[in-house]
Chain A
């Protein structure tokens, strides 16, 4: 087998973890003692003391703005602490810049991949640490070595392919493999599965366990309880910047963690109210367009229509097609019984369709603009009198949405980029509530959103339905669409392949239809 030598080569100088073993398994490797971070008067992290044991998988859970990202940034040296101490292998350390953290073997894999999309997978894996001979890069050797690492990890990925040609999920796996190759002893995952399919998540979990087996300490941040219970040895809970407790996974359960996180019991996260189905709002007949084919479905007032499928199955493409973002190539759309042609987004909005798109960063928000501007963007023409915008109305509208949706911000002038995932999603929703619509399309509304905000969003769905709207809910997270949809449609390869009434099919059945075995 070619490449095997190369692998052992990498292992000896790449996977430095096993060799170093600074602390025996089960002993504290990193200790936070009253670690605190303040931004001005705001205490993002109140003095917190958490001990991470060598070789454990330590989950961290908490709501929006609970201080999870602050904690990661402190440990990876991205921001400096206000007070407190960090002990690494028993010695106090500064961790005031990212280089120090990396040199000590502390690394993070972020939710959104930060690599070079135009370079090959292999080039990305070796970025900054290229194999050289006589000052020239050994491109073929790197590709082969990267390939054997990927094969070895059980990822079915081509090392020579351009990174950008992979799905976000696959890119995430590459990022993890890259971190694994670099002598990491302490690896933080920040909601890594947010954009992954089930199979990709399973691969990632295998990789995490394998790293643990090699002595790496894993910190795993997630909103998905079932992942925490599947993976972690211990779990720490943050709430409002306070560390409220650490539990061994065997000694706790879903309900206790949720209670700790939000300080109130949620008997039902999936808040479902049934309303009598009203008139048909929209009906598509054999609608086709880029990425989807021959889709026929109806949405009635007062019902949630769920679209489930793997990423790339054509659900989002169908939503964009219905919204007029892409021209449809065949089929018809009937809006409240009347045949319509939706040529662009404005037509869709004027009919009464609202779309909260799949990616908040790429499609949903103008991140470097204020929250207020984002909320008002669809309604500026309504706020305009004569030549200029009515300032008073503009301010009132933004503030009303911020208040009603409980967006956690000191002001409407704060940039959207400063908000956490859940609050960003609320901004996107606020935009459409201020515009108003008959049909709301929510595409992955709870990706990167914590349990508390999720529950708020689901309650909001019920409010919309009560007011006579219909909802199309798109999700890759089966329990969500399964529990909430009055009617569930399964997509596979751009086609609608199956439809079920509320809870009529089992999870397994739906999943099988989505994967198509």
Chain B
């Protein structure tokens, strides 16, 4: 090979092309599932069910986007489910105490920022592995939430707040609009801004990033704060949807978020991931659950199917990566 080949397309597959192709495969899988369910059931392609599906997938999708930022830095955020439950309690409690709605929302999101900053502090300053620090907050946040509510739930009487999750805008559920509200800035951040590049660099080799002048600590703070803030945002949406604050809600959602992210092509070893991948991953999971309900499949089976799907999709992704060498 000589220097003249610089502009030819030969050689190892360019990364961007592959990532688009993988995105299209996932999109194809999603459409295939929708087609299949449309043929197998009468009720799938009803406006009601589609709205329902979009609502179901929306919250996991937002969590998965935040989670993806963390996974790209080669970390993990196990606390997101607990943060959702905890922040649902916070917003309910603030509203019950008579705090105006918009202040309650801002304060709740601020809690998300604080929790994320605490995670990053533990990782950067105390040298704790991400798995450990977020596992610790997973259990303690549920505990704090239960202490605040004394083990019960707090009802939300603010109707403007609770109506939001049931509302539609242009015929599309407002919860799904929230996915777009999160996804567009997330895309700009991850794929178009330098901070996105820094996330990948830190996940690939933090020492090399550091010696190239990247502020590694700040990048890690950014990733965990974004993840927890996404989770706090989902906490608001959940509280709006169920009309209560309850610290035990969203049990296991962290695993849903990680699964969506991984199905969407994110590598748990870091430095590989996108924004569109986890979104598709979340809606694939939501479709499977929705379809299983429509087909009257035992809900225990849904869990098994989800597990098998994770193995199959990630296995094919691995094959593709190896094939690209």
A interface residue numbers (CB < 8 A to B): 39-42, 65, 240, 323, 325, 345-346, 349, 355, 357, 362-370, 373, 376-378, 380-381, 383-384, 387-389, 399, 402-403, 406, 408-411, 413-415, 418, 431, 435
A-side contacts of B213, CB under 8 Å:
345-346, 349, 377-378, 435
B interface residue numbers (CB < 8 A to A): 1-3, 5-12, 14-16, 188, 192-194, 197-198, 200-201, 204-205, 207-215, 271-272, 325
Task: Report the bound CA distance from A373 to B209 in whole Å.
Answer: 11
**Contact B192 A388, beta carbon cutoff 8 Å:** yes
B-side contacts of A410, CB under 8 Å:
1, 5-6, 8-12
User: Most chain-B Cβ atoms within 10 A of its Cβ — which of A325, A378, A413?
Assistant: A413
- Interface SS of chain A: helix, strand, loop or mixed? mixed
B-side contacts of A406, CB under 8 Å:
3
**Contact B6 A402, beta carbon cutoff 8 Å:** yes
Q: Min CB distance, B281 to chain A, in Å? A: 21
B-side contacts of A362, CB under 8 Å:
205, 207-208
**Contact A346 B205, beta carbon cutoff 8 Å:** no
Q: Can you give 29 contacting A-B residue pairs, CB < 8 Å?
A: A40-B11, A42-B10, A65-B1, A240-B1, A323-B211, A345-B211, A345-B212, A346-B215, A362-B207, A363-B211, A366-B200, A368-B271, A369-B200, A373-B201, A376-B197, A377-B197, A377-B208, A381-B194, A384-B194, A387-B188, A387-B193, A389-B192, A389-B194, A403-B3, A410-B1, A410-B8, A411-B7, A411-B9, A415-B12
B-side contacts of A363, CB under 8 Å:
205, 207-208, 211
- Given A323-B211, A389-B192, 20 other A-B residues pairs in contact with their CB atoms under 8 A: A39-B11, A41-B10, A345-B211, A346-B215, A363-B207, A364-B208, A366-B204, A366-B205, A369-B204, A373-B197, A376-B197, A378-B213, A383-B194, A384-B194, A388-B192, A389-B197, A408-B1, A408-B5, A410-B11, A414-B12
Task: Report the bound CA distance from A323 to B213 in whole Å.
Answer: 11
Nearest neighbor of A383 in chain B, beta-carbon distance = B194
Q: Min CB distance, B2 to chain A, in Å? A: 8
A-side contacts of B211, CB under 8 Å:
323, 325, 345, 355, 357, 363-364
Q: Min CB distance, B75 to chain A, in Å? A: 16
B-side contacts of A388, CB under 8 Å:
188, 192-193
A411's partner among B3, B11, B272 (CB-CB below 8 A) is B11
Nearest neighbor of B272 in chain A, beta-carbon distance = A368
B-side contacts of A365, CB under 8 Å:
205, 208
A377's partner among B193, B212, B272 (CB-CB below 8 A) is B212
4 tightest A-B CB contacts, nearest first: A410-B11, A366-B204, A380-B194, A413-B14
B-side contacts of A402, CB under 8 Å:
6
Q: Min CB distance, A294 to chain B, in Å? A: 25
B11's partner among A349, A357, A414, A435 (CB-CB below 8 A) is A414
Task: Report the bound CA distance from A363 to B7 in whole Å.
Answer: 29
User: Most chain-A Cβ atoms within 10 A of its Cβ — which of B7, B194, B209?
Assistant: B194
Q: Min CB distance, B9 to chain A, in Å? A: 7
Q: Min CB distance, B221 to chain A, in Å? A: 16
Nearest neighbor of A411 in chain B, beta-carbon distance = B14
Q: Min CB distance, B185 to chain A, in Å? A: 9
Task: Report the bound CA distance from A445 to B310 in whole Å.
Answer: 43
Task: Report the bound CA distance from A384 to B188 in whole Å.
Answer: 13
B-side contacts of A389, CB under 8 Å:
192-194, 197
User: Most chain-B Cβ atoms within 10 A of its Cβ — which of A357, A362, A387, A406?
Assistant: A387
